Amino acid sequence: MIFLNNKGFILAEVLISALILFAVLSLGTLAYRSSIRIVNRFTAIAGLSDALPEITSIVKRDLMAHRLKGQGRQGKNITYQWFAKVVKSSRDIISSYNEATGGLEYGRFKLKLNEIHLTVSYHGAGINRKEQYKYNELSWMR
């Protein structure tokens, strides 16, 4: 009588289980990498959106200082460039309303409607994202 010892796995069973294990690991790795990429992309979008109000206030301040272009850095990952084109300009205005006193304040100034072209770039976490904006800004000069 011959007795067989069936206490183990045959080679085919080991190979099939290894194939299934590596397939599951590779799918998990792909899912993880995709989620990290998506998180980095959303971080870039949120960073650009968060910096935009501060950048537009800097652009407005520069316009009031009679500069028609500029560039700068906002934080460590965001850079911006802008330039303005004068769309329309008023004639000299001789008086203005003073909100503090409630009366007219006399002096010469000119209003300008500027078209701002703003490019904001995000560089960080393996993501390079560039957004372009175009808007109008009113400025005046004495």
SS3 74: strand
- Please give the model's pTM, rounded to 2 decimal places: 0.68
Distances (CA, A) of 23 to 11, 19, 29, 30: 18, 6, 10, 11
| Single-letter amino acid, residue 90 | S
* 5 pLDDT above the threshold of 70: no
Residue position matching structure tokens 């769309």:
87
Q: What is the DSSP letter of 8?
A: S
Mean pLDDT of 106-115: 80
Mean pLDDT of 75-79: 90
SS3 126: coil
Helix (H) or strand (E) holding 63: helix 11-64
Mean pLDDT of 133-141: 89
Q: What is the pLDDT of residues 24-57, one digit of tens each?
A: 999 999 999 999 989 988 988 888 899 999 999 9
In this structure, what token pair is assigned to residue 93? 């205005």
Rounded to whole angstroms, the Cα distance separating 89 from 112 reads 4
Distances (CA, A) of 48 to 35, 37, 83, 119: 20, 17, 18, 11
